[in-house]
Structure 1
Amino acid sequence: MDFIDQLRLLSSRIANTINLIQTEEATKNAMVMPFINILGYNPFDPLEVTPELTADVGTKKGEKVDYAILKDGKPILIFECKKAGGDLNIKHAGQLFRYFHVTETRFGVLTNGLVYRFFTDLEQPNKMDEKPFFEFNILDFKEKDVEELKKFAKSAFDVDNILNTANDLKYVRAVHQKINEFMTEPSDEFVKLVAADLIGTKRFTPALKEQFSTITKRAFDQLIGDKINERLKGAMTQSGSAPVQIVASKSEPISIDESASEKTEPQVITTPEELEGFYAVRAMLRDVVQPKRITMRDAQSYCAILLDNNNRKPLCRLRFNNVDKLKVGIFNTEKEEEIFSLENVDDLFSYADSLKNTLKSYD
């Protein structure tokens, strides 16, 4: 099984059992140890993975980290674990900081079993940075995240190779967060900068600030919607499917066809939630069928997920028109639709077995 498929399998299992995991010890056993195993290290071999590794740190005796991955008897990667979903504030990583300082390891990981934050010493030698250079979310990862994670696998681990990209990763992540802040709640300085060339010599009054704050947020939404539409259109064209339109904002469409008012039929809009659901279904079924055979056909009342783009082979219907009350219709082997409520799109993973049974009934 490929590296990414192993991660997807673990992701699906965690999504189905996370409510049962209430303690730090359970988090280690059900989440962290399988993650370490996927990286290629045997968590049951103390010469390779040592739990509760102890070191004396100054006046503190018996300092421990939850796991240390060893190479030639020396730690190369250390883990500090919190319970599932626990706070990963850097203030809670005291042991990781101290142990990092007294060992030769260049990488520390702070995790709650769901999110893994990777640290190194880019700012001061032998002193762990306060900000991670890489973050991996087992329930929400992209292929580019997997490529970075692969560098920590036993078969590929190379300190220099990781450090060569760590600096860029750290600052790209920081810029990403800053841009996200501008998108969701642009600062007065940023809005003023955006508006400067547009208002000319006019005074930047509170009224103009409010007006351009709204315009800036809508412009970001439109830009994102356009970019998603471009990529999706290209993907649909290559696969021979009809392109669909993506709307970045849940509250109102930003990008509107100027000729839409002349059409008598309402426009079908594929939302980000529906697209996320579509790719979630593909991910769940990729170990059973080639992903390209799972297709999407949107309609006014629901978004149909089909096998081979065949209406006679429905897998499920994403009933996401009301984003506050998500529902999914799962087809059983008799082609009868059973509708279930979802708290969020990730809850789709709870129905992986049902989807696989439906799929197998067609193949």
Structure 2
Amino acid sequence: MDLIDQLKELSIRIKKIKDTIQTEEATKNALIMPFIQTLGYNVFDPTEVTPELIADVGMKKGEKVDYAILMGNKPIMLFECKKSGSDLNVSHASQLFRYFHVTEARFGVLTNGISYCFFTDLEQANKMDEKPFFEFNILAFKDQHVEELKKFTKPAFNVELIMNTASDLKYTRAVRNILSDWMVSPSEDFVKLACSEVFSGKRITPAIKEQFTLITKNAFQQLISEKINDRLKMAMEPTEGMKANSSPRELDQDRIITTEEELEGYRIVRAILREVTDPKRVVMRDSRSYCAILLDNNNRKPICRLWFNNLSRLVLGFFDGKDEKKIQIADLSDIYQYADQIKQTVRMYDKPVDESSPVEIVASEMG
């Protein structure tokens, strides 16, 4: 099962239970331990994941780290845990600062079970930075976040590889935050810079500066809006060459947009089927009307269809013979309620030919 599928499954479960978590201990057991387990570390093996590792700091004896990930009997990552819902700031990281200094671990993680802030010592050796170089939110992550998190998994863990990208991650994040702030409220220096480029050689009066503060903010918003519209236009409209040489069916395919809901539904189905088949055999093929999930990328082996184009009405299509049966669901997590039916469909395709009759599905809208 791919890491992203495991994280999606964990995310759905955490959304359901997070509001019931009232203590730090419950946060550890229900949210943080499953996350560490997802990274590939055995939380029930104290030689791999040690709870309350003692880390004496100067005159302070008996200081304990909530969790230490060990490799070769040496700590590689330290986890400082706070109750679910707690804010994560520098003051909450004070214990982690001390632990980091007296252990061999190169990475410290501050978490409330939802957000995970990863720290290291980019600024000064053996002294943990005040700001994290990477943040991961289990309830709101994208594919690129998972790719960065994958470096911390047990099979892929490599200090040099992580450190090589940590600096870029940290400062890219910092610059993005600055630009994001400027979009809402441009700094005085930035406005002056923009003015100096436009009014070369002219004195920037207070009136011009005030005018350009608003102009700069509007320019940011227009630029972002135009970039988004350009990308949507490119996704929906074929090029002139394609218009001249493509068939109407091919042009329709180019206008297909796969939504995040369809992608998440696909990942849930893959997660369900990991017990009965190789997830690589489960393929998604989108069309204008529905998103098909197939076994072996074969139209004659439909597992289910996601009729999600109308997001106010999510519908699943199942196959147990020639006919498609449609079922309306309230939420994407409801797909798990039909796990047995999805698994049985795949088992049917994998039976020897003499044990089941072939399923003929005419996919009129798919290539």
TM range (shorter): 0.7 to 0.9
Residue 174 in structure 1 maps to residue 158 in structure 2: no
Distance 2:4 2:306 in 1: 27
How many angstroms does 1:294 deviate by?
5.0
SS in 2 for 1:61: coil
- TM-score normalized with structure 1 length: 0.73
CA contact (8 A) 2:262 2:291 kept: no
The more displaced of 86-95 and 278-287 is 278-287
Greater Cα radius of gyration, structure 1 or 2: 2
Aligned pairs, number:
302
Partner of 2:295: none
Identity score, percent? 56
- The AA in structure 1 aligned to 2:169 is L
How far apart are the structure 1 equivalents of 2:335 and 2:143? 26
- Aligned position for 1:86: 86
Aligned counterpart for 2:255 among listed residues 215, 239, 242 = 242
- C-alpha separation between the residues in 2 aligned to 1:355 and 1:217? 45
Q: Is the 8 A contact 2:134 2:166 kept in 1?
A: yes
* Alpha-carbon distance, 1:49 to partner: 0.2
Distance 1:83 1:241 in 2: 47
Check the 8 A contact 1:315/1:355 in 2, yes or no: no
Question: Does 2:272 align with 1:288?
Answer: no
**For residues 187 and 295 of structure 1, what CA distance do their matches in structure 2 show?**
46
Q: Equivalent residue of 1:93, what SS? A: helix
- Once the two structures are TM-superposed, the CA of residue 150 in structure 1 deviates from its matched residue by 1.2
Residue of structure 2 in register with 1:225 after alignment:
225
Query: What is the CA distance between 1:109 and its match in structure 2?
Result: 0.4
Q: Is the 8 A contact 1:52 1:64 kept in 2?
A: yes
Q: Which amino acid aligns with 2:255?
A: A
Distance 1:200 1:164 in 2: 41
Checking the alignment, whether the CA contact within 8 Å between 1:285 and 1:356 is kept in structure 2 is no
5+ unaligned residues in a row in structure 2: which ranges?
239-251, 271-281, 293-304, 318-324, 346-360
Taking a change above 3 Å as real, the CA distance of residues 157 and 313 of structure 1, as seen in their structure-2 partners, is closer
Q: CA deviation at 1:172?
A: 1.3
TM-score normalized by the length of structure 2 = 0.72
Listed as ranges, the matches of 1:1-363 within 5 Å are 1-236=1-236, 240-242=253-255, 278-288=259-269, 292-293=284-285, 306-307=290-291, 314-315=307-308, 317-318=310-311, 328-331=312-315, 350-353=331-334
Amino acid at match of 1:315: F
Q: Aligned-pair distance for 1:4?
A: 1.2
- CA RMSD of superposed structures (Å): 3.3
The verdict on how the C-alpha distance between 1:198 and 1:139 changes in structure 2, with shifts beyond 3 A counting, is same
Q: CA deviation at 1:197?
A: 2.3
Determine if contact 2:27/2:112 at 8 Å carries over to the other structure. yes
Q: How far, CA to CA, are the matches of 2:50 and 2:308 in structure 1?
A: 45
- Cα distance in 1 for partners of 2:217, 2:173 equals 21
1:294/1:13 CA distance change after superposition, 3 Å: farther
* Structure 1 unpaired stretches of 5+: 245-274, 297-304, 319-327, 341-349
Deviations 1:253-293 (A, max 9, x none): xxxxxxxxxxxxxxxxxxxxxx9xx3144213333276854
Contact 2:77 2:109 in 1 (8 A): yes
User: Would the aligned equivalents of 1:317 and 1:330 in 2 still touch at CA under 8 Å?
Assistant: yes
Cα deviation 1:71-102 (Å, max 9, x = unaligned): 12111100001111211101111221111111
Quick one: distance in 2 between partners of 1:122 and 1:131?
A: 10
